[in-house]
Amino acid sequence: MRVFVNDQPREIAAETPLAVLMGGLGLAERKGIAAALNGAVVSRSEWVNRRLTAGDRVIVIQATQGG
């Protein structure tokens, strides 16, 4: 099925948990990463419980430092 990650289409298996998608992107273990699913922020502890469906939109945000 197709989902969108930062507006880029990505093919994944049906009912893939958000945690698996983030792991496949190499982001599951990185600090300072947040994910929103269809406009709602999903806490990292809930990534494993959130199953993706066709057409879902995931936005990945990385915190940065600066001054």
Write out pLDDT tens, residues 21-36: 999 999 998 999 999 9
CA contacts within 13 A on the Cβ side of 7: 0
pTM over 0.85, yes/no: yes
Q: Where are the domains of the chain?
A: 2-62
2-62: CATH topology is: Ubiquitin-like (UB roll) (3.10.20)
pLDDT reported for residue 67: 62
Element (H, E) at 24: helix 18-24
Contact 1, 14 (CB under 8 A): yes
